[in-house]
Amino acid sequence: MPLWTLCTPVPTSGLWADLTRCAQLGYVAAPACLIAFTAWQSGNGALANLALDRAIADTPGYSMALLLRDTIDAGAPPSLAVLPMTPEEVAASYSTAPGFEQAEQWSPGASSTGDNGAS
């Protein structure tokens, strides 16, 4: 399940800020994008853009940063981010993509033969 599906604007923003502040170069983009997403989701476009600037400065081709930047620059309202999504909703959204084939569910202890460790 993608981490962004668990993001809520208020409770996690301090965590993402701390991680962004402490991250080594090359690892800043991910938490900075989570700040950007939660800021955009709560209507704080200024903070979202600052966080995206930080993410792109760290990793210029970071896809989440580029997608969020395009979304915000296009004037998309935060209401488009209908969250939090349940794991089932996330799985359903991926399964509707053209050419998508449902992969087997992985579980701890599963062997490469797909028997999930049962004997």
Band of residue 82 on the pLDDT scale cut at 50, 70, 90:
low
Higher pLDDT, 89 or 73: 73
Band of residue 118 on the pLDDT scale cut at 50, 70, 90:
very low
Tell me what pLDDT residue 13 has. Answer: 61
What is the distance between the terminal CA atoms of the chain, rounded to a whole angstrom?
28
DSSP codes of every residue in 49-87: HHHHHHHHHH-TT-HHHHHHHHHHHTT--GGGS--PPPH
Out of 36-45, 75-84, 91-100, pick the least confident.
Answer: 91-100
Among residues 45, 41, 36, which one has the least CA distance to residue 80?
41
Q: What is the pTM of this model?
A: 0.60
The token pair that represents 98 in the structure block = 């053209």
